Chain A
Amino acid sequence: DTAVSQTPKYLVTQMGNDKSIKCEQNLGHDTMYWYKQDSKKFLKIMFSYNNKELIINETVPNRFSPKSPDKAHLNLHINSLELGDSAVYFCASSLGGQRGVETQYFGPGTRLLVL
């Protein structure tokens, strides 16, 4: 079984559309994260949730809205997609007890291309 899974794996869409990416973890972890990896492979955290509560909200445009229906799921909804949103989006999870030093387990990524 995949520990951290994301759907879809690839997403090609037009500018201005709204899209969602889903993430699920079956590790029993309390904390989940969204990262963005740009075309230069630079990784930056966007959001994190601990047991459905938002704990990190970096300076991300408010077109991006995370939603955590339960602690095993963290979805990312993006409104009014722009060309600059093209990137690979990674979901990750960790135990949640000592978040600063825990191993994070990453999903395979969702490759978003905005045309």
Chain B
Amino acid sequence: AQSVTQPDIHITVSEGASLELRCNYSYGATPYLFWYVQSPGQGLQLLLKYFSGDTLVQGIKGFEAEFKRSQSSFNLRKPSVHWSDAAEYFCAVPGSGNTGKLIFGQGTTLQVKP
């Protein structure tokens, strides 16, 4: 069965520092992978998604993610974090069938220090 694991529950980085959030997946075939962000008190917004092709995917707000099949990973990165990036980040994979069901990881809370 498809599943997603985000090993880091909480990460704190200084403003201007680089960021990497980890995501490991379990998926039967070629995976589709998503990263969503949830700002405080808000709904989720798609940052980026991977379907096929180039393994380095660019997203909004300066984020990128790299698909590594050999490591079953889809880590999210940003070279320089801004205070407004403080949020909850979710990695997700689709469930089986074309239902639109998303299976989310546990989420990583990002705190940004001034």
Contacts and interface: CB of A to CB of B under 8 A. Distances in A.
A81 interface: no
B83 interface: no
A31 B102 CA distance: 13
Interface string B42-53: 111110010100
Interface of A: 4, 31, 33, 40-45, 48, 55-56, 58, 90, 92, 94, 96, 98-104, 106-109
B42 A108 contact: yes
Interface residues of B, number: 25
B10 to A, nearest CB: 11
Given A101-B51, A108-B43, A45 B102 contact: yes
Nearest to A96: B100
A41 B100 contact: no
A45 B101 contact: yes
A41 B88 contact: yes
B101 A101 contact: no
Nearest to B42: A108
B49 A90 contact: no
Interface stretch (B12-20, B64-72, B73-81, B91-99): B91-99
Contact of B32 (A4, A40, A101, A104): A101
Given A101-B94, A108-B42, A42 B99 contact: no
14 contacts: A41-B109, A43-B44, A43-B90, A92-B43, A98-B98, A100-B94, A100-B98, A100-B99, A101-B32, A101-B94, A104-B102, A108-B41, A109-B41, A109-B43
Contact of B100 (A4, A42, A48): A48
Contact of B99 (A40, A43, A44, A99): A99
A56 B99 contact: yes
Contact of B101 (A56, A96, A103): A56
A73 B68 CA distance: 39
Contacts of A92: 43-44
Nearest to B93: A100
Interface in B20-48: 32, 36, 38, 41-46
